[in-house]
Every structure is written in structure tokens, then in C-alpha cells.
Amino acid sequence: MPTSNVPFPVFGARGFVAPDESAVLAGVIADIQAAFGGTLNLSATDANSLATSQGQLAQSLTAIIGSAF
């Protein structure tokens, strides 16, 4: 069964709690790195790497996941 590093939302004592966008981005980046052998120039803390094609992909996927929450 495939796994992902993207955190899941939870139902807490106060109801639905979505993960922070930064946590989702970190999970998406970890998934992309795992898919490509961990050799991409891609990091959530490096704005230059987020401006690359793979960074744009990670940010787009993060936005799509965020809109689902």
C-alpha cells in the first residue's frame, strides 16, 4: 500500500483540524524527493528551489491538497 508524508487532517475535541500548509508542503516535497531518488534541488526552506519547475509542482500540489481540506 502506498504511503505519503503529507499529514492527514484530524478530528479533535474541537472538531476538524486541517494540517498547516507548511506541513503539507514539507510532506509533498518529501514525497517528490522519494519518487525521484532524493536528488532534486528542492527544499521548503529554500526559496530558490521553490522557483524551479519541481518547486512549482510542489506548491501547486500543496494548493490542491489545501483546497480539499
In the prediction, which pLDDT does 12 show? 87
Which of 49, 44, 42 shows the shortest CA–CA distance to 26? 44
Average pLDDT over residues 8-20: 91
pLDDT tens profile 22-36 = 999 999 999 999 999
Quote the pTM value: 0.87
Q: Which residues contact 40 (CB under 8 A, 6 or more apart)?
A: 32, 33, 54
Residue 1 has pLDDT above 60, yes or no: no
